[in-house]
């Protein structure tokens, strides 16, 4: 049996999972392959991590990544340290040393993907990154290979398990945001500093990768709009449910004429939408293609072994030669894809959920609807409940299709009305 030697850099949660799979004596890989990826070396700045595994005494372990990169017996490097630096330098050096690369680093690929792809092409090597989005869901392979005959029109989905767990907790158990976040942290679903997840930054990284692969274009990552769930109010989840909608944090990519929409934000979906039933830490991504129509991939979007499974799948592609062929043949990895602008958020159109806090007196609805009408925003439905203890009442509306810029202007003017007693909450809708 032929072997393909693997060097692993980063023995965190996922790295440990990858090592476990590759070191398994009765691995399913043995039953399926005649060319086997074999773990030959590990690099991690913490020398104690080698105690996580029952490694032989002569196993190549180092605290210096450069030592592993300079090892001529290593054919492919797996980078699992995350972040931009020193990950970028490690991957670049691996490529320059004639080694293929497998990574799960969504931040690095979102910010520097095109540059690294170009470097890989220059050296006749490949970069594989199935584990960067969707954990164990083979979404990259699906977009890159499975839907190759399609012009991808839209990609949207739940790509962050932490936020989906929190929103599920809030929706199903009527738990406020701070308590749901604390529970997610206790269970290990959320970091001590959850900013990357709850503010939509992690989702925007993943969206950038999906859009580059799906649309085959390049763009300025900094122009991706992202908004998180930290300001989501439990009452809005309740009112939305009453109106027939479920709240999810969505990553959305759409073709719009000669531009693309790229945005991450809390989004209301009809109860019968497939993504509305995706709960807990699970991910799901919907793809709309010109030939296949609408399809959805669903599964565990994070966790040690699901993500490690995706990493090892990439290693097998490298070992079998598929990764090199794919990387060499596809324009997506040329580093010279068509660069397209990201559409201005103020220009896109959707329906909106609005919640006003107003004084309990006649004529309030007329004043608000008058301003909305001035900016060509029509009302589809209204909910008004009994007054609160302070005398103010929530006034909830669903609009018809409207332009974001017009909505922002209308809300700024409505804020000045004497009947408005608190900041207005709004949520975007996808049908």
Between 23 and 385, the higher pLDDT residue: 23
Res 389: pLDDT: 61
Question: Poorest-confidence range of 230-239, 272-281, 331-340?
Answer: 331-340
**Residue 320 scores a pLDDT above 70:** yes
Mean pLDDT for all residues in the chain? 95
161-192 pLDDT, tens digit per residue, is: 999 999 999 999 999 999 999 999 999 999 99
pLDDT number for residue 54 = 83
The per-residue pLDDT for 57 is: 81
Residue 390: per-residue pLDDT: 72
Sequence-ordered alpha helix ranges (H) in 243-363: 304-320, 322-329
pLDDT for 27-82, tens place per residue? 899 899 999 999 999 999 999 988 888 888 889 999 999 999 999 999 999 999 99
| Overall average pLDDT of the 112-134 stretch | 96
pTM of the model: 0.97
Average pLDDT over residues 290-309: 96
Tell me if residue 183 falls in helix, strand or coil: helix
Active site (annotated) includes residue 169: no
- Residue tagged active-site, from 40, 206, 300, 425: 206
Q: How many CB atoms lie within 10 A of CB 378?
A: 11
| Separation in Å, CA 192 to CA 167, 175, 189, 197, 314 | 18, 20, 10, 11, 30
Residues 342-401 have pLDDT tens digits of 999 999 999 999 999 999 888 999 999 999 999 999 999 999 887 666 778 999 999 999
Q: Residue 360 is inside which H or E element, if any?
A: none
Residue ranges and CATH numbers for the domains of the chain are 2-135+306-333 (3.40.50.720), 139-300 (3.30.360.10), 346-429 (3.30.70.260)
pLDDT for 414 beyond 70: yes
In this prediction, residue 26 carries a pLDDT of 87
pLDDT score of 386:
75
How does DSSP assign 2-64, residue by residue? Answer: EEEEEEEE--SHHHHHHHHHHH-TT-HHHHH-SEEEEEEEEE-S-GGGGGGTT--TT-EEES-
């Amino acid at each position: 049996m032929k072997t393909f030697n693997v060097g692993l850099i980063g023995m965190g949660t996922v790295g440990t999972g990858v090592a476990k799979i590759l070191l398994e004596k009765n691995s399913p890989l043995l039953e399926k392959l005649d060319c086997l990826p074999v773990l030959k070396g590990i690099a991690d700045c913490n020398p104690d991590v080698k105690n996580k595994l029952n490694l032989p005494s002569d196993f190549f372990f180092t605290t210096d990544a450069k030592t592993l990169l300079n090892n001529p017996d290593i054919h492919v490097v797996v980078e699992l340290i995350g972040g931009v630096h020193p990950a970028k330098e490690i991957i670049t050096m691996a490529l320059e040393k004639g080694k293929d690369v497998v990574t799960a680093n969504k931040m690095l690929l979102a910010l520097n993907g095109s540059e690294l792809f170009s470097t890989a092409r220059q050296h006749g090597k490949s970069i594989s990154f199935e584990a960067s989005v969707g954990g164990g869901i083979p979404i990259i392979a699906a977009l890159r290979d499975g839907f190759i005959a399609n012009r991808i029109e839209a990609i949207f989905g739940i790509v962050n398990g932490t936020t989906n767990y929190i929103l599920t907790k809030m929706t199903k158990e009527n738990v406020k945001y701070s308590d749901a976040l604390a529970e997610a942290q206790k269970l290990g679903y959320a970091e001590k500093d959850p900013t990357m997840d709850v503010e939509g930054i992690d989702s925007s990284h993943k969206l950038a990768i999906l859009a580059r692969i799906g649309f085959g274009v390049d763009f300025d990552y900094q122009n991706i709009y992202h908004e998180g769930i930290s300001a989501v109010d439990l009452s809005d989840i309740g009112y939305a449910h009453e109106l027939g909608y479920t709240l999810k944090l969505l990553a959305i990519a759409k073709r719009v004429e000669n531009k693309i929409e790229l945005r991450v934000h809390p989004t209301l979906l009809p109860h019968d939408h497939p993504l509305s039933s995706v709960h807990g830490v699970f991910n799901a991504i919907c793809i709309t293609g010109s030939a296949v129509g609408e399809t959805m991939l669903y599964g565990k979007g994070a966790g040690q072994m699901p993500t490690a499974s995706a990493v090892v799948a990439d290693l097998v592609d490298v070992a079998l030669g598929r990764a090199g062929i794919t990387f060499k043949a596809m324009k997506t990895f040329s580093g010279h894809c068509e660069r397209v602008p990201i559409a201005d958020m103020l220009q896109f159109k959707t329906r909106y959920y609005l919640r006003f806090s107003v004084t309990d007196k006649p004529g309030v609805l007329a004043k608000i609807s008058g301003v909305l009408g001035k900016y060509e925003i029509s009302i589809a439905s209204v909910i008004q409940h009994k007054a609160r203890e302070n005398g103010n009442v929530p006034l909830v509306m669903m609009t018809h299709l409207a332009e974001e810029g017009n909505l922002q202007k209308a809300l700024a003017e409505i804020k000045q009305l004497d009947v408005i007693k608190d900041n207005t909450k709004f949520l975007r809708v996808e049908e």
